[in-house]
Amino acid sequence: MSNYYDLDDILADGEKVPCRFNMTVPGLGYLEGNPGKQINKDSKLELPFWLAKVLAVCDLQEESGNSFIDIASPEAINLKVLNAIKTSSKSVDLHKLLPNYYKLIERWCSMYSDPEITTIVMQMLKERSFEINNYASNPNMGVNNDFIYSLDEYEKKLYKLTTESNKQMRSWLRD
């Protein structure tokens, strides 16, 4: 669920996804850089996820069942990326791929109810969380390590919380 004031939610909703228009729409040419013009049927362009989601669920006509646009899978969940995640989730640079990867996947899976992607990403989160805990538990491991730089924003928060928790535990054990 989206939080109106959460910057990560705002950034995830602003991520662009590839779309194809199912009808000609007058006056929306500015989305393609053509103000005052129309967007033609079958035009392809990238729209922010929040806009694409709205246009994808609006029916053109109740009996047709078609929406204004069709949304294609973003690059962050294409077959190549999913195979890389299945092969070695720790080697995937989520930050480079999409800084708010988990937020976008959460929105995508809630919109399309895709159990395969959900399973793959949940397994990745488990594997990477274990690695994050290892680095947070041993502060010297995380220095100049590529894995730490590959974390998405959610994982960075997890790393920070885990590091702080480990510091507090060590302090409590010393006292």
Q: pLDDT tens for residues 97-122?
A: 999 999 999 989 888 888 999 999 99
CB distance 47 to 100 below 8 Å: no
Name 45's bridge partners: 19
Q: What is the pTM of this model?
A: 0.81
Q: How far apart are CA 6 and CA 90, in angstroms?
A: 27
Residue 86: the pLDDT is 94
Residue 161: the pLDDT is 95
Residue 111: the pLDDT is 86
Domain boundaries along the sequence of the chain: 1-72, 74-175
Laid out side by side, the sheet with 44-48 consists of 44-48, 16-21, 69-71
Which fold does the domain 1-72 belong to in CATH?
Answer: Methane Monooxygenase Hydroxylase; Chain G, domain 1 (1.20.58)
Residue 165: the pLDDT is 94
| 14-38 pLDDT per residue, tens | 889 999 998 888 888 888 888 888 8
CATH topology agreement for domains 1-72 and 74-175:
yes
Local confidence band at 131 (pLDDT 50, 70, 90 cut-offs):
very high
What are the strands, taking DSSP E only, across the chain? 16-21, 44-48, 69-71
CB distance 68 to 56 below 8 Å: yes
Q: How far apart are CA 36 and CA 110, in angstroms?
A: 35
Local confidence band at 68 (pLDDT 50, 70, 90 cut-offs):
confident
Which fold does the domain 74-175 belong to in CATH?
Answer: Methane Monooxygenase Hydroxylase; Chain G, domain 1 (1.20.58)
